[in-house]
A and B are shown apart, each in its own frame.
Chain A
Amino acid sequence: MSARPRPGDPVITPALVAEHGITEEEYQRLVAMLDREPTFTELGIVSALWSEHCSYKHSRPVLRTLPTQAPWVLQGPGENAGVIALGDGLAIAFKIESHNHPSAVEPYQGAATGAGGILRDVFTMGARPIAMLDSLRFGSLDSPRVRYLFGGVVKGIGDYGNCVGIPTVAGEVVFDPSYEGNPLVNAMCVGVMHERDLIRAAAEGVGNPIMAVGARTGRDGIHGASFASEDLSEASEAKRPRVQVGDPFTEKLLLEASLELIRSGHIVAIQDMGAAGLTSSSAEMAARGDVGVTIDVTKVPVREEGMTPYEILLSESQERMLVVAKRGHEAAVREILGKWDLAAEVIGEVIAEPVYRVTEGERVVAEFPGSRLVTDCPVYAPEARESEAVRALRARDVHAIPARPEERDPAWTLERLLSSPTIASKRWVYRQYDTTVRTGTVVAPGQGDAAVLRVRGTDRAIAVKTDCNGRYVYLDPREGGRIAVAEAARNVACVGGRPRAITNCLNFGNPRRPEVFFQFREAVAGMGEACRVLETPVTGGNVSFYNENPSGAVYPTPVIGMVGVVERLEHVTRSTFRADGDAIVLLGEPTDELGGSEYLARIHDVVAGAPPRCDLARERAVIDALLEAIAAGIVRSAHDCAEGGLAVALAECAIGDAERLVGAEVELDAWRDLPLRALLFGEAQGRIVVGTADPARVLEIAARHGVPARRIGTVRGDSGTLVITAGEGRLVAPLERLARAYHEAIPRLMAGGSAEAAVLEQHPQPAAI
């Protein structure tokens, strides 16, 4: 049997091949594999499977260099999600995914379906999702279009997660002109499971039926996968009607049904029909199991009449699963789905013959030899060369930049930084997210550097956070890659968690441009170095290339999703100062570094200089020291120094809780020789502000770990001010003013957005949530 063109199929022309994003060589490779011309259906299948999104053809060799092993890793890269052991026979499944391009075209649905997809990746492993995180990047909020995108994305993530009933508990939002026109929308999901329920997505057992489960298949998002592999352009504008619509209600039913199905023992494998829908899910399952499959598209439940095999195979309709059931258990599978008002149809079978075959009734419309469809896809090693311009920026002496007159009062500078949307409170965002459903959230957004979720039936908890400073990565990809991992680890440690593993979402530009591929290669190298030193292996991730707009590529943004384990609930630590009279200790030390800082960007509109150096051994020591102090029960609060440096970190400790402002008196004379603005606002790495009643012991522990540490001040609960002195330098700021700057910045910017708010009302979504 071999595939024949269907009546009415367009003839394969070079133009048609090009339209499918398939290069001349790739087409020759395909012809060689088939040893004949492909049918239109086969062309569609290959264009999806060989798209960057599915094939990782530009990234795989580089990703292979990442560390993926540790005794606690139960499932590394390659499955729908990574899994690590939590102890007591429990495990954590987690994964991050990008939905950048769909969100740029239709922010609400793009973000919502992104959340839906990552949820499915986690529960198809057999894990019950317990939390979501979202890592977002936008242009400047001064632009109405950006406000529209920001508002729509946040509402989309919220409406979806809220409806399914999974709390969204952490993330970041960064605003920078480089993301204008190409926002980054990365969603992460974390789930908990019994190790024994771990299930993989490998087709097995000749004769086992393949079943389509969940929503019907419509003409949604056809070629979304290759869509995600192109620069944003008029072309993608034309793709608009392909945007998928999410149905969180069906997702919730599918979640419950899938977990019941996995525990029932009636199935051998389950996989989300995500990007490139039925095609990639079935082909990947076959390749993983190293078996053949045959699928009859006429058996697939469809939403619209007259759908062609091409459309059915490539549809990206949401809330669908592909299941390999045990032969003879079909009825049992249907019964479980039926309980949740969902359908399950047998659409194919696992076969011994090593082929990937698609039929339309009797007619074979696509047939590929063995699993070569997935394994033989092209791999590229593009040229990598650093951009001269960036090298020049990095070399620039930023200390030569004259201070603005207003800076004579450092309180002015601090206020401006606190009101920078990147630093300011993100409450406007997470107030729209149900953060407490499932009653597991111990540290909610805004309360700590990472979120903490308890694990029922144990005294343990899970700490999670996403982080990445794209500006650092832009100025120095390797250092920036290291820092992304280090900051995420620091944040997790600040709430009392031992960093255990990461997932990552690599958002870059067009890999065929040497300067972009250089950024990619170097950033991944830096990530790998940090993961080795911090013992946080990579268990999975996602690559999103072609994040470009007419004005060029976005900042290279390798977002790190860090997962840590809190051994005992009593170790859980928050970021704001607690008790009057507590000592303030700084772990790590300031430097004269100013390059790549939020200070330069916000106050001087300058993006230049070398980003802060990241000493990985030091980062590890700081985390070990902090965790030992926390375990000793002597840490009342911990907050890492990130954007805005030490002064902003101290301010956040004082005003982070809008209902409980806590003053502080800080004295930094020990570093009086450093330039004041570097001391206050420089972003030297490896620093944590600790509140403690027992500074001596904290210092002793730090010393034992070789971490420079010093008492820098005292919590003055009711003083109502933050005072920082350093030699001649003196910063005195009333907490009310700082709090207003920090807590009201984003609401004020969005209030002007009633027009955008109204636009959001367009979406035919549940008004209620």
Chain B
Amino acid sequence: MKFGIVTFPGSNCDYDAYHAVTDVLGADAVYLWHKAHDLEGADVVVLPGGFSYGDYLRAGAIARFSPIMREVAAHARRGGPVIGICNGFQILCEAGLLPGALLRNANLQFVSEPVRLRVENAETMFTHQYRAGQLLRLPVAHGEGRFTGDAETLDRLEGDGRVVFRYVDAAGEPTADASPNGSARNIAGIVSAEGNVLGMMPHPERAVEAVLGSTDGLGLFQSMLARVSA
């Protein structure tokens, strides 16, 4: 089982994702250069966080045109797992592999802090190691994380159980204050209709070791390992 971690110009969490899946999970991983034309046999593609192309114009707008993205899209069409974290989520939306868009945080400030998430769907290939309704503590660090979509897009996401993570407060309720960025319906992460493409703003790869204050992100990588190796 092999993870392919894409490095775009300006990616800066590629190294963290690599460390999480290799040193911590003991899985294989390769870095995939944005100009490359094949996935080097990766079973799971990770689009890491960072500032591809400086987030100039719009976060993810330019990176989506990288040569490697053609392969990523093809991999996704074949049902291969793709996970986009933070900037990776933004790229997936810009590339049309996920619906909606991520806009400037409502408070217009970059927000870096641990947030509480509720697992809304524990059936996906990315979350089956969690319990539905389980509360997670993961860090966010973004300036453009306000998920937006028109009403029917949002209704469809909700109806099809494609909202995977929601920002919630200590009581587990999706209150306005619980959201660090003003996302529609406190949405923090969603999956594609086929369920094999996940985008999320929080950083699971930053929460895989006790020494860093939380291991709540492990379940996500273990879910993929279990499902893909199986």
A contacts B directly in the complex (CB < 8 Å)? yes
Could you list which residues of chain A lie within 8 angstroms of chain B, going by C-beta atoms? 155, 158-159, 162-165, 247-250, 252-253, 340-341, 430-439, 441-442, 444, 454, 456, 569, 757, 761, 766-769
Is the Cβ of B206 less than 8 Å from the Cβ of A769? Answer: no
Chain A residues lying within 8 Å of B51, measured Cβ to Cβ, are 162-163, 165, 248-249, 252, 766, 768-769
How far apart sit A766 and B108, CA to CA, in the bound complex (Å)? 12
Is the Cβ of A249 less than 8 Å from the Cβ of B12? Answer: no
- Among A159, A162, A249, A569, point to the contact of B9 (Cβ < 8 A): A249
Chain A residues lying within 8 Å of B139, measured Cβ to Cβ, are 436
Instruction: Report B21 CB to chain A, min CB distance, Å.
Output: 12
Chain A interface main SS type: loop
Check A437/B12 contact, CB under 8 A, given A163-B55, A766-B54.
Answer: yes
Chain B residues lying within 8 Å of A454, measured Cβ to Cβ, are 211
Instruction: Report B205 CB to chain A, min CB distance, Å.
Output: 7
How far apart sit A517 and B203, CA to CA, in the bound complex (Å)? 50
Chain A residues lying within 8 Å of B209, measured Cβ to Cβ, are 439
Contact with A along B73-102 (1 / 0, CB 8 A): 000000000000000001000000000000
Tell me the nearest residue of chain A to B170, going by C-beta. Answer: A659
- Among B16, B113, B144, B211, point to the contact of A768 (Cβ < 8 A): B144
Check A434/B141 contact, CB under 8 A, given A341-B9, A439-B16, A439-B206.
Answer: yes
Check A249/B110 contact, CB under 8 A, given A437-B16, A439-B205, A569-B211.
Answer: no
Chain B residues lying within 8 Å of A433, measured Cβ to Cβ, are 110, 112
Is the Cβ of B10 less than 8 Å from the Cβ of A163? Answer: yes
How far apart sit A441 and B211, CA to CA, in the bound complex (Å)? 9
Check A767/B104 contact, CB under 8 A, given A252-B12, A433-B112, A439-B205.
Answer: yes
Is the Cβ of A768 less than 8 Å from the Cβ of B9? Answer: no
Within 101-126 of B, Cβ neighbours of A (below 8 Å) are at 104, 108-113
Check A768/B59 contact, CB under 8 A, given A165-B13, A436-B206.
Answer: yes
Instruction: Report B57 CB to chain A, min CB distance, Å.
Output: 8
* 18 A-B pairs in the complex with CB atoms less than 8 angstroms apart: A248-B51, A249-B56, A253-B9, A432-B109, A432-B110, A433-B112, A437-B16, A437-B49, A438-B12, A438-B15, A444-B213, A766-B51, A766-B55, A766-B59, A768-B58, A768-B90, A768-B142, A769-B142
Check A769/B110 contact, CB under 8 A, given A249-B51, A454-B211.
Answer: yes
How far apart sit A635 and B206, CA to CA, in the bound complex (Å)? 27
Q: Say whether B50 faces chain A, with CB atoms less than 8 Å apart.
A: yes
Instruction: Report B168 CB to chain A, min CB distance, Å.
Output: 15
Q: Say whether B19 faces chain A, with CB atoms less than 8 Å apart.
A: yes
How far apart sit A164 and B53, CA to CA, in the bound complex (Å)? 11
Q: Say whether B29 faces chain A, with CB atoms less than 8 Å apart.
A: no
How far apart sit A427 and B108, CA to CA, in the bound complex (Å)? 16
How far apart sit A84 and B161, CA to CA, in the bound complex (Å)? 54
Tell me the nearest residue of chain A to B144, going by C-beta. Answer: A768
Interface size class for chain B? 35 or more
Is the Cβ of B108 less than 8 Å from the Cβ of A757? Answer: yes
How far apart sit A767 and B101, CA to CA, in the bound complex (Å)? 14
Is the Cβ of A434 less than 8 Å from the Cβ of B112? Answer: yes
Chain B residues lying within 8 Å of A249, measured Cβ to Cβ, are 9-10, 51, 53-54, 56
Is the Cβ of A431 less than 8 Å from the Cβ of B15? Answer: no
Chain A residues lying within 8 Å of B151, measured Cβ to Cβ, are none
Q: Say whether B171 faces chain A, with CB atoms less than 8 Å apart.
A: no
Chain B interface main SS type: mixed
Is the Cβ of A158 less than 8 Å from the Cβ of B110? Answer: yes
Chain A residues lying within 8 Å of B225, measured Cβ to Cβ, are none
Is the Cβ of B9 less than 8 Å from the Cβ of A165? Answer: no
Instruction: Report B52 CB to chain A, min CB distance, Å.
Output: 9
Is the Cβ of B20 less than 8 Å from the Cβ of A439? Answer: yes
How far apart sit A420 and B2, CA to CA, in the bound complex (Å)? 53
How far apart sit A248 and B143, CA to CA, in the bound complex (Å)? 15
- Which 6 A-B pairs give the minimum distances between C-beta atoms? A165-B12, A249-B54, A769-B143, A768-B144, A768-B55, A768-B59
Chain A residues lying within 8 Å of B230, measured Cβ to Cβ, are none
How far apart sit A685 and B94, CA to CA, in the bound complex (Å)? 56
Chain B residues lying within 8 Å of A769, measured Cβ to Cβ, are 51, 55, 110, 142-144
Within 183-201 of B, Cβ neighbours of A (below 8 Å) are at none
How far apart sit A340 and B11, CA to CA, in the bound complex (Å)? 12
How far apart sit A284 and B128, CA to CA, in the bound complex (Å)? 60
- Among B12, B59, B110, B211, point to the contact of A159 (Cβ < 8 A): B110
Chain A residues lying within 8 Å of B20, measured Cβ to Cβ, are 439
Instruction: Report B61 CB to chain A, min CB distance, Å.
Output: 10
Is the Cβ of A768 less than 8 Å from the Cβ of B143? Answer: yes
Chain B residues lying within 8 Å of A456, measured Cβ to Cβ, are 19
Is the Cβ of A164 less than 8 Å from the Cβ of B12? Answer: yes
For the A-B complex with A439-B206, A769-B110 known, give 18 more contacts whose Cβ atoms are closer than 8 Å. A155-B109, A163-B10, A163-B54, A164-B12, A249-B9, A250-B54, A252-B51, A432-B110, A432-B112, A435-B141, A436-B203, A436-B212, A454-B211, A766-B143, A767-B55, A767-B104, A768-B59, A769-B144
Is the Cβ of B55 less than 8 Å from the Cβ of A436? Answer: no
How far apart sit A767 and B110, CA to CA, in the bound complex (Å)? 9
How far apart sit A609 and B90, CA to CA, in the bound complex (Å)? 57
How far apart sit A158 and B108, CA to CA, in the bound complex (Å)? 13
